[in-house]
Amino acid sequence: MGSRGTITRVICLAASVLAVTAAPAAATGIADGTATLELSPGLQSKLERAEVGFSGREGARVRGETATMELSGGMMEGPPATGVAIPVGALRFAGENGSVRFRKLGIDITHGAVGAKVGDAQVRLATFRRVTVARDGFEATLTMPKLQLTRSGAAALNRGLGRDRYFKPGSAFAGMTLALSMKTLKSEKGDVGIALDPGLRAKLNELGVEVLPFSTGVIGPESQFLLPLSYARIQADFGKGEIGTADGLRLYQPSSERGLKLYFLEVDLEANALEGYSFMDPSRYAATTTLATLDSARPAPVTGEDGVSLPPTAAAITSFLAERLDEAFASPLGKSGVFVPGSPLGTVSFSVRF
């Protein structure tokens, strides 16, 4: 697939829909896929009676009333499904009085339109009102059960065939299915989970330190902190990914009135780490840093119909976090070295939902 600018130029040419020249800011590229177009039974019957043939060109494959085209690119976001898809190939109707080819298709999922170059004319070929979406991780199937011909689309097809009776504006033209593979998954739904190791909890309890969600997070089953997701960007091969929350953990020691806030937490799949900001009451602020490292043998994220999740994965405290914990809570009590770099933090997990 070409650049984002290339995609939008192709769509402008194929669909003549100005609204899709700027794809959604959070859209993700389509890696590959297929578009399947099946002529409506009524149209197929009419064309058979008139001995009008239906065939594929330029890579499009036709069997009976069904055409299949590979996707050369596009962008999609959802749900609800929005974006554009670009099939490769041309389709041809041929009768005794002429033939017509339509190619350079552009499927505008956002606005419910299919554009094409019909003969030498750029037209909005058909429109659709309903799209159903089935997701499974990075795979998606979009079904548009009824494409209706536009006035300009019907006229262009009829003109090529030399007759005005084959295609009618507003009539059912075809059904279409898009089977897509996404390059990345993006979402703002889900949560990041942190369950503290029992040994770490025991040390904090001995020092009289309370641990609570920083903001709107909740304490879930087995004392796991569930922090609402702010963003997630995950590559299909899981080589890279950032799953973040504006929330975090608030640690507070009433006896010394000292606190340590860990927030804007992010699971970084490439770095295999939990990163975030730390703020120590009342003395020190620190920019984003690595708070914990994830087990190098961590399980791979799991994909499903609802999204992508990382099972609870062991995480170890970094030297930075160990020093901050000691400084905040052990030093006021005359202790040091209570928190050891490399010791267990607990487990880190995430659930990213569509």
Tell whether 81 and 26 lie within a shared domain: yes
* Residue 282, pLDDT score: 63
How many CB atoms within 10 Å of residue 56? 16
pLDDT of residue 22: 36
Q: How far apart are CA 254 and CA 1, in angstroms?
A: 57
The DSSP result for 38-103, as a single string, is: EE-HHHHHHHHHTT-EEEEETT-EEETTEEEEEEEEEEEETTTTEEEEEE--EEEEEETTEEEEEE
Q: Give the model's pLDDT for residue 164.
A: 75
Domain end (from 126, 149, 182)? 182
Residues 142 and 19 in one domain: yes
Q: From residue 201, give the alpha-carbon distance in Å to each of 55, 116, 196, 223, 280.
A: 69, 63, 6, 11, 19
Summarised one tens digit per residue, pLDDT across range 94-120 is 988 889 999 899 999 999 999 999 988
In this prediction the pTM is 0.76
Q: Could you list the residue range(s) of the whole structural domain that residue 274 is in?
A: 185-353
Which of 182, 202, 225 terminates a domain? The answer is: 182
- Domain co-membership, 142 together with 222: no
Same domain, 123 and 148: yes
Instruction: Verify that 340 and 283 share a domain, yes or no.
Output: yes
Q: Is 173 helix (H, G, I), strand (E, B) or coil?
A: strand
Burial class from Cβ neighbours inside 10 Å (0-12, 13-18, 19+) for residue 270 reads: exposed
208 in the same domain as 175: no
Give the integer Cα–Cα distance in Å for 28 and 30.
Answer: 7
pLDDT along the chain (354 residues), means of 10: 42 38 52 94 93 93 95 77 89 90 92 91 92 88 95 92 87 95 88 97 96 94 94 90 95 92 95 93 72 90 87 96 94 93 97 88
Of 182, 201, 220, the position where a domain reaches its end is: 182
Q: Could you tell me if 22 and 163 lie in one domain?
A: yes
Q: Are both 294 and 203 inside the same structural domain?
A: yes
Looking at residue 80, its pLDDT comes to 60
Under the phi-then-psi rule, with left for phi > 0, alpha for psi from -120 to 50, and beta for the rest, what region is 342?
left
pLDDT tens digits, 231-286: 999 988 888 999 999 999 999 999 988 999 999 999 999 999 999 999 887 666 66
Q: Domain check: are 105 and 207 in the same one?
A: no
Q: What total number of domains does the chain contain?
A: 2
- Asked if residue 229 and residue 174 are part of one domain, the reply reads no
Beta strands per DSSP E along 109-230: 113-118, 121-127, 132-136, 139-149, 172-182, 184-187, 189-196, 210-213, 218-219, 225-228
| DSSP label of 7 | H
- Output the pLDDT for position 263: 93
Residue 166: predicted pLDDT: 86
Residues 88, 13 within the same domain = yes
Residues 57 and 167 in one domain: yes
